[in-house]
Amino acid sequence: MSEEKKDHKKEDFEPKIVGFLCNWCSYAGADLAGTSRIQYPPNVRIIRVMCSGSVDSMYILRALLEGADGVFVGGCHPGDCHYIDGNYKARRRMVLLENILGTLGLEKERVWLRWISASEGQKFADTMKEMTEAVRKLGPSPIAKHWNL
Partner 1 sequence: MTHKVIKVKDNDVVGSTNDFLRNLLSSGKIQALLVPQNTPSKKVAFPVLISDPKKFHADIVAPILPASTATIVSKMTKVQPPSKPIGVVMRSCQIRALIELVKLNQASLTNIVIIGVDCPGTFPINTYTEFPEKKTPTQFLLEAWTKKSDEAEKYFRSACRVCKDPIPTNADIILGFYGADIEKEIIVEAHSEVGKNILKELPLEDEEEWKSREKAVKELREEKAKKRAVFLKEKEGLKGIDKVSEFFDKCVNCHNCRQACPICYCKECLFDSSVFDAEAYKFLRRAEIKGLFKMPNDALLFQLGRMNHMILSCVECGLCEQACPNNIPLMDVFIPAAENAQKEFDYQPGKDIKEKIPMIVYREDEFLEVGEK
Contacting residues toward partner 1, per CB under 8 A = 57-58, 61-62, 65-67, 75, 78-79, 85, 87-89, 91-100, 102-106, 113-115, 142-149
> CB 79 → partner 1: shortest distance, Å?
7
> CB 80 → partner 1: shortest distance, Å?
12
Q: CB nearer to partner 1: give 9 or 92.
A: 92
> CB 68 → partner 1: shortest distance, Å?
10
> CB 131 → partner 1: shortest distance, Å?
11
Neighbouring C-beta atoms of residue 128, cutoff 10 Å? 26
Answer yes or no: are the C-beta atoms of 72 and 89 closer than 8 Å. no
Q: CB nearer to partner 1: give 8 or 62.
A: 62
Which residues touch 26 (CB under 8 Å, ≥6 apart)? 52, 74, 75, 76, 114, 115, 116, 117, 124
Q: Of 88, 140, 90, 77, which is closest to residue 110 (Cα–Cα)?
A: 140
Instruction: Give every strand in the sheet of 70-75, ordered side by side.
Output: 44-49, 17-22, 70-75, 111-115
Q: CB nearer to partner 1: give 31 or 126.
A: 126
